[in-house]
Each structure stands twice: as C-alpha cells, then as structure tokens.
C-alpha cells in the first residue's frame, strides 16, 4: 500500500477501540491523552483508562458505536470480531493491529524528546527493530538540540517582525545555529542568556 506519514489532530474526535489487550490499551491511552473521545468494545475493563475518560461498551452494541466513530482501532484477539468490525467500518479510518494491510491507517511507534516527536514505522517487519531504532535516536538527540530548537523558534519570531525576505531570515537562522558563543550558552543550558544574546544581535537589523 502507499503509506505516507501524517500527523492527525484527534481533539474531540470519536475513537472506537475493538479489544482491550496490550495493544488496545496502549492505543486507547494515546488517543485519550490527545483529547479524543474513546469507547472500547470489550468485556475486560481498565480502571486507569476509565479514569482517563474511556467508556466500555458490549460487543452487542458494535454497529451503534462503529457508526459513532470517526476512527477505529481493531485490536482484539477474536478474528471474527475483527472481521465484523472491519466490514462495518466502510470508509472510516481504521487501524488493524493484527493485519495492517486490511486497514487504511497505521499507528506507528512514537515518542517525544522535548517538543520533538519521532515516529518509527518498519512496514510491520520488526517491532523489535523499531525499539532498537528508538534507543539509537534517543542516544543521539541531546538536550542541547532541544535548547537549539527553542532558540530557533524564538529567533524566527523576532525575524518575522524585522526581516520580510524569507531567504535572508533563513541565512540569519543558520548564523544563529552555528554561532560559537550561542553554542557555548546552550552547552551550559543557559537558554535565557542565549535568547538575550540573539536579541542584541538582531536589534540593529533593518
């Protein structure tokens, strides 16, 4: 299939989770944390997910809640239930945890470092390697990189007020990225001092 990575705003969207095993719980928690309304079709409940706002409904009400859903995650251990839910889903966004090729949505392994989000999708070939790649990324991305991200954002806001030419703004951002004194500040975690220094540098721009 022609998979492509996207980020989806699920705030206030209706998400139906079929099954409450490890995968179902993990994905329910992710959607709840992102502000979605989550209903889980399962006989087994989780107090933690209930406290987060999840509601549990019986299998007999499957069609009702499929109609309600904007997005579905099919992750039960019951292949017949999974097939029934998929059949009822019609043209909805649906993630099949058991057979991704039967769905049209992938929910990849993801994690955050500061405000930077990373997602890893191995085409379903190796969850183990997805975990290993995550470890490698976490070992490479340092606190200084996150500080530089915040400083770049700070600098961009200043430049938008002073410089109309996009190419010139980009050149200034590269100068900030490679400035020796700024990097010394960030090495020591002195983000405020770095921002003050950038403000001084940009004060005399036309």
pLDDT in tens, 55-82: 999 999 999 999 999 999 999 999 999 9
Write out pLDDT tens, residues 94-116: 999 989 889 999 999 899 999 99
Distance from C-alpha of 32 to C-alpha of 54, rounded to nearest angstrom: 7
pLDDT for the residue 124: 81
Distance from C-alpha of 38 to C-alpha of 56, rounded to nearest angstrom: 9
The superfamily CATH assigns to domain 14-107 is: NAD(P)-binding Rossmann-like Domain (3.40.50.720)
pLDDT for the residue 142: 93
Write out pLDDT tens, residues 134-150: 999 999 999 999 999 99
Per-domain residue ranges of the chain = 14-107, 108-141, 143-202
Q: What does DSSP assign to residue 60? A: G
Taking the model in full, what pTM does it have? 0.85
**Angle, in degrees to the nearest 10, between helices 180-187 and 191-202:** 160
Token pair in block for residue 53: 């706002």
pLDDT for the residue 145: 96
pLDDT band per the 50, 70, 90 thresholds, residue 206: low
């Amino acid at each position: 299939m022609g998979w492509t990575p996207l980020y989806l705003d699920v705030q206030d969207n209706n998400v139906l989770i079929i099954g409450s095993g490890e995968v179902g719980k993990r994905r329910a928690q992710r959607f709840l944390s992102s502000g979605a309304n989550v209903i889980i079709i399962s006989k087994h409940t989780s107090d933690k997910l209930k406290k987060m706002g999840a509601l549990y409904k019986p299998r007999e009400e499957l069609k009702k809640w499929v109609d309600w859903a904007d997005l579905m995650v099919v992750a039960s251990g019951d292949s017949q239930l999974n097939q029934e839910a998929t059949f009822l889903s019609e043209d909805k966004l649906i993630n099949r945890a058991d057979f991704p090729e039967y769905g049209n949505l992938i929910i990849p392994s993801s994690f955050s470092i500061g405000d930077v989000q990373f997602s890893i999708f191995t085409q379903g070939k190796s969850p183990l390697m997805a975990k290993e790649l995550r470890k490698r990324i976490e070992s490479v991305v340092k606190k200084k990189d996150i500080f530089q991200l915040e400083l770049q954002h700070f600098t961009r806001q200043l430049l938008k007020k002073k410089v109309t030419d996009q190419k010139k703004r980009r050149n200034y951002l590269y100068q900030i990225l490679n400035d020796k004194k700024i990097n010394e500040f960030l090495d020591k975690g002195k983000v405020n001092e770095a921002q003050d220094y950038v403000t001084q540098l940009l004060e005399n721009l036309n």
